Amino acid sequence: MKHGLSPAGCSAAFFLLAFLLFGWGSSLEVHAETIYVDGQLAEASTAAYDPASRKAGSGSARAFKTFAGACAVAEAGATVLIRGGTYAEALVPKQSGAAGKPITFKAYEKEAAIISGEGLAPAVELSGKAYITIEGLQVVKVKRWLHAVKSNHLILKDNLFRQALDAGGSAKTGLFFQEAHHNRIVGNTIDDTTQDNLALIKSNHNLIEGNIFLKAKHVLWTVKGGCYNVIRCNYLHNAIQKIGEVYDCQHVGFDHEFTELNCTKRNLIEYNVFAFTASSGDHSPYAGIQYAGQDGIVRHNIFYDTIGPALDLTMYPDEARHNTGNRVAHNTFHKSRFAGLCLSGKRDDPKYVFDNNAIKNNVFTENRFQRNDKRWAWYQELDGKPVQVFVGALGGFVFERNLVFGGAEGQTYLIVTGKRDGKNNPAPQGLASWQTSRPELFRENLEADPKLKAPDAHDYRPQAGSPCVDGGACLTSAKGAGEGTELSVADARWFSDGMGVEGLAGDTIQLAGEAATYRVTKVDIEKNVLTLEKPAKRKDGQGVSYAFAGKAPDLGAYESGLPEPPAAPAAPAAGR
């Protein structure tokens, strides 16, 4: 004997539930279908909306005048289309979507759906939600843009976030993610906050790709205590302060609740354009990236016109005390007004750990020190000098197989070391002298004109005959001969397996002397083992690098002979 309702009984129960929830006039397809929000509606809601006329009565769609009405009924799989107009109301979804069935809030076709109101703090509240997509909206002139605390699988796509006006300058002013994992921020314009445009706090496996970041009073993006995040193919220009930060937690978080060190690991920063940072005056210089993480990768980026150092591997109390195991490869650093690269260096104080950082196959060209900070006598000596690399203390790094060029060959001041307040800093010396006196730190570097196509027009590809072509070295080497999908290497930290970001493939690698390439599916940095998609035969000591054309990898951000790499968006029309 079977128990429960018959098919007829189920249907009756379903219609009774629908009547209790919506009344007889409501559509039973509301949760899985398209819902509209239209601020022009005369009534609060309708089940007879006509999208063509934007009126009730002649159609069959469900529509609401406010976000609140649509959010009350939108469940997994629903798409909420927001019609053109300005909404002085926060967007606060009530439900989460599900895997394969997100709830999507999207601007209708090409209409300008704008959220604006200086009291909105935030304008979009996604905390505690999962599988929500926000697409094509404009969030403009609000107190705070968006909060996502303990959220996952959110997508922000093709939106405009402009003018977050919180007068208090809170870190929560812009796009604020905390303990938020597996989210995607793709193709947005993120412009103008009173503090941070994007904050990732203790948030992991997030993708930040293809965005335009402009103007923040503090920083365009920051990663604090987050791991396995990928920041790639973004255009970054800050006319006020610095661009990026990576460091640990010191009283950070929504309620300043997190203090944790040595916790910001394996973040990947690649294929970005770092276009400008401002002058700091008598303050610490505003960097392209102020970096103090662990086991991260910074590669294939273009840095130019930063008034502070392009990349600053720094140390200071207390959030930036562990700068270890980082790999910097195949970047191009052009016309910084401080140095292309700053290295804090190893300290005697055991509270500070600067160790095992490697810089390889990069191009440093025409960087020149500019004395904006007038407090330090040493800066007066350095003013106008062709400083490519600025080293605080000699230790904790290896600077290998890079090209450095200050505008002419045989220059001193290409690499300088000392303390900004030091009265007896070492005398400057040329590259050859550094490589002779400190070969454990500086080795196989080249001083030569890189012969880039049009660097002042931001075309950093090598010309024919450039020393960059085939001028690099393999990043590491195989350990032991053999064949199989597990490849033991001397140093696995150079490589990514996609960082656990859904849809992002691992690196394509190549063995020296061979044309075949292999996809990395897993990186074990503790065992120094790469797992490959297909078996590879190798010799002991054979070079291993990213895929390249020619006899050896190229120096700098481009590999001639291969397809163009992923590209950041073009600079905005205003030239920022």
- Note the pLDDT tens digit of each residue in 258-298: 999 999 999 999 999 999 999 999 999 999 999 999 999 99
pLDDT in tens, 419-442: 999 989 999 999 999 999 999 999
pLDDT in tens, 137-173: 999 999 999 999 999 999 999 999 999 999 988 889 9
- In this predicted structure, the answer to whether residue 17 has a pLDDT above a threshold of 80 is no
Residue tagged 């189920």 (tokens) = 10
- Domain coordinates of the chain in residue numbers? 24-133, 476-546
In terms of C-beta distances under 8 Å and separation of at least 24 residues, what long-range contacts does 41-45 make, across chains too?
41/65, 44/69, 45/69
Give, in order, the Cα–Cα distances in Å from 428 to each of 112, 300, 381: 57, 30, 10
510: which 2 tokens? Answer: 């190549």
Q: What is residue 21's predicted lDDT score, i.e. its pLDDT?
A: 35
- In this predicted structure, the answer to whether residue 12 has a pLDDT above a threshold of 50 is no
Specify the pairing of strand 273-276 against strand 289-291: unpaired
Report the SS3 class of residue 388. coil
pTM of the model: 0.94
Mean pLDDT, residues 83-104: 98
- Whether residue 361 contacts residue 331, with contact meaning beta carbons closer than 8 Å, is answered with no
Percent over 70 (pLDDT), the chain: 94
What is the Cα–Cα distance from 299 to 557, expressed in whole angstroms? 8
Of the given ranges (24-33, 247-256, 505-514), which has the lowest mean pLDDT?
A: 24-33
Q: What is residue 168's predicted lDDT score, i.e. its pLDDT?
A: 87
- In this predicted structure, the answer to whether residue 23 has a pLDDT above a threshold of 50 is no
What is the Cα–Cα distance from 361 to 543, expressed in whole angstroms? 14
Residue tagged 């300088």 (tokens) = 416
- In this predicted structure, the answer to whether residue 515 has a pLDDT above a threshold of 70 is yes
- Residue 488's DSSP bridge partners are 529
Q: What Rg do the C-alpha atoms of the chain give, in angstroms?
A: 27
Q: What is residue 472's predicted lDDT score, i.e. its pLDDT?
A: 98
Mean pLDDT, residues 180-209: 98
Q: What is residue 381's predicted lDDT score, i.e. its pLDDT?
A: 96
Angle at 266 between CA 514 and CA 323, to 5 degrees: 110
The CATH architecture annotation of domain 476-546 reads Beta Barrel (2.40)
